[in-house]
Each structure stands twice: as structure tokens, then as C-alpha cells.
């Protein structure tokens, strides 16, 4: 907003776009250079960015168009040209963190789905300020009653509870990866309370940074654990009591005998939150 001298009350109406392509970084550099004067510092700087080494650095630092503009602040680029250089946003996918079988998940007789997310905020790789996650920051700034444009997509992966409720399950989650695990545990709790079947054992390895700051659903998990629906093995990567940080792979190795027994008994294994967890599980499987 500062770059284009826009105010918080300014309104922009975009009816359509003439582009029928997805802009690329080389195309953006060429377009930006066309708005600079021959021989100007801006032209020289933008042309230098076409160099293979310089361009690779742009890719490595994940430069956006605005990051490039920050390095040529005097470039008189019109706002509409900037808008046309932006890459269309792809939908951000979240796992629903509630079960339709839980009777409290309704509002005015209609089903309610909950989402679980971390607000992503980190120093930008480009070195220009702070990077704010688009979807998570948007959701964090919504207020009760706000409408959110969204859609529900069926999952393309078999991330569902086993048909036989007596089948044991092992769940590995980190951060907001607790979302589908919470939905699964909530569903198992509803099944048990309805007296339909006695679910098999469930083991949840959950990693977060600090037990008092981001241990999501702690009270819910404690209730479910007291009811024998799940056993929770928490891992805290950044505790403040001077103890060594622990991650899911560390806890897996500590409980490897139990995990291996459940695995051999054909327990279903679910992971969410980090691809490294799957790699470590495979590694420990091989070592066992």
C-alpha cells in the first residue's frame, strides 16, 4: 500500500483481466524494465537480475514482484500493471478438525465444521520485512459472524478411520497437523459414548513448541484420555524449563516396542504436519 500510495479506505474494483497466462519471473522483470528509462539505475538493476546467478538468487529467496520493486523504489510502475503481474492464488487446503458424529457440532440444526491452523509469520527469505501467511493471516483477522469464501473437497487419500472400530490406530501429528487427528478421536469418542462398539487402542504422538502456549486441544485430549479413548504422548520442541526439546521421532523411538507391536498387529498409521515424520517412521521400522 505504501509503495503505490494507497490508503486503508481506498476501494479498488477489478472487473476483469486481459491476461490469459500465468506471469513468470522473467516476464515480470521484462515488464518492469519496460517502465524504466534507458540507461537509468532502475533499468541497469533490473537487467542485472536477468543474469543466471542473480536470477537464481531471486528464485532461492522466493522474490515476489513487490520484493523486486522494493529494490527499485523510483520505478514509476502503475498500480494496474502491478496487479496484472500477480500470480493467481491457489486455494489453501485445510483438514476439517471435527466429526459430524459429534452432536455438539451443530448450529441452528445445521452441521458445523471446525478448522485448525497456525498463523504463519516469519522473516521473509527475500530479506524484505516479514512474510505473513496469506490464508492463515486472513482467517486470524476474521470476526464471529464474518462470511468466509470456501468450499469442501473430498479427500483423495484414504485418510479415514478403519471400518472395523476395533482396529488400533497410531497418529503422528505436529502443530496444526492435529486437525484430522482431533476429528478422528472425536468420532471414536462419539461411537464409544453411543455404545455401538468398543474402539481399539489409539496412540497419539503430538508435537508442539511449548506446553503452555500452543498445546492445542489440551483439555479435550485430557478428557478423551481419561475415558480411555486415546493415549496422548506429547512432545515439546522448545520447552522453557531447560529440558531438551523433543520431537515425534524421538518419542517414537522411546516407545518403539509398543509402536512395533501395534504395527505388527496391523494398526493403521496416520501422519499429518511434517513429511519428515513419515521418513523417520520408515527408518525406525527398518532399524527394528
Give the tens place of pLDDT for each residue, 14-50.
766 666 555 566 778 888 999 999 999 999 999 898 8
Confidence class of residue 244 from pLDDT cuts 50, 70 and 90? confident
User: How many other CB atoms sit within 10 Å of the CB of residue 238?
Assistant: 10
Beta strand segments in 120-265, E: 121-123, 130-132, 169-174, 202-208, 231-236
Beta strand segments in the chain, E: 106-107, 110-111, 121-123, 130-132, 169-174, 202-208, 231-236, 268-272
Q: So what's the pLDDT on residue 232? A: 95
CA neighbours closer than 13 Å in the CB half-sphere of residue 201: 12
Q: So what's the pLDDT on residue 55? A: 85
Q: Please indicate, yes or no, whether the overall pTM of this predicted structure exceeds 0.85.
A: no
- 217: which residues sit within 8 A by CB, 6+ positions away? 178, 182
pLDDT, tens digit (0-9, with 9 covering 90-100), for 143-154: 988 988 888 888
pLDDT, tens digit (0-9, with 9 covering 90-100), for 60-117: 888 888 888 988 999 999 888 888 888 777 888 888 999 888 767 667 777 888 899 8
3-state secondary structure (DSSP) of residue 234:
strand
Q: So what's the pLDDT on residue 129? A: 83
Residue 270 CA to its chain's centroid (Å): 17
Whether 160 has a pLDDT exceeding 80, the answer reads: yes
- In terms of pLDDT, which residue wins out, 219 or 122? 219
pLDDT, tens digit (0-9, with 9 covering 90-100), for 162-207: 988 889 999 999 988 999 999 999 999 988 888 767 788 999 999 9
- 36: which residues sit within 8 A by CB, 6+ positions away? 42, 43, 46, 72, 75
Amino acid at each position: 500500500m505504501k509503495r503505490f500510495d494507497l490508503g486503508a479506505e481506498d476501494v479498488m474494483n477489478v472487473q476483469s483481466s486481459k491476461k490469459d497466462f500465468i506471469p513468470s519471473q522473467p516476464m515480470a522483470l521484462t515488464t518492469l524494465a519496460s517502465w524504466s528509462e534507458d540507461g537509468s539505475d532502475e533499468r541497469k538493476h533490473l537487467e542485472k537480475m536477468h543474469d543466471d546467478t542473480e536470477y537464481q538468487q531471486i528464485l532461492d529467496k522466493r522474490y515476489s514482484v513487490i520484493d523486486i520493486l522494493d529494490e527499485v523504489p523510483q520505478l514509476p510502475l502503475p498500480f494496474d500493471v502491478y496487479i496484472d503481474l500477480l500470480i493467481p492464488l491457489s486455494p489453501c487446503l485445510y483438514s476439517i478438525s471435527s466429526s459430524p458424529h459429534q452432536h455438539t457440532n451443530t448450529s441452528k440444526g445445521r452441521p458445523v465444521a471446525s478448522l485448525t491452523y497456525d498463523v504463519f509469520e516469519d522473516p521473509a527469505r527475500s530479506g524484505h520485512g516479514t512474510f505473513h501467511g496469506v490464508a492463515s493471516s486472513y482467517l486470524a483477522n476474521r470476526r464471529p459472524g464474518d462470511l468466509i469464501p470456501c468450499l469442501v473437497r473430498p479427500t483423495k487419500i484414504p485418510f479415514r478411520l478403519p471400518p472395523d472400530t476395533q482396529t488400533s490406530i497410531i497418529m503422528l501429528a505436529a502443530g496444526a497437523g492435529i486437525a484430522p487427528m482431533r476429528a478422528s478421536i472425536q468420532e471414536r469418542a462419539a461411537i464409544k459414548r453411543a455404545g455401538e462398539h468398543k474402539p481399539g487402542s489409539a496412540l497419539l504422538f503430538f508435537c508442539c513448541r511449548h506446553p503452555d502456549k500452543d498445546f492445542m486441544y489440551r483439555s479435550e485430549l485430557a478428557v478423551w484420555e481419561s475415558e480411555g479413548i486415546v493415549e496422548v504422548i506429547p512432545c515439546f520442541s522448545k520447552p522453557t524449563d531447560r529440558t531438551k526439546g523433543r520431537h515425534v521421532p524421538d518419542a517414537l523411538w522411546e516407545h518403539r516396542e509398543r509402536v512395533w507391536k501395534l504395527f505388527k498387529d496391523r494398526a493403521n498409521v496416520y501422519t499429518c504436519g511434517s513429511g519428515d515424520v513419515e521418513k523417520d517412521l520408515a527408518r525406525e521400522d527398518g532399524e527394528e
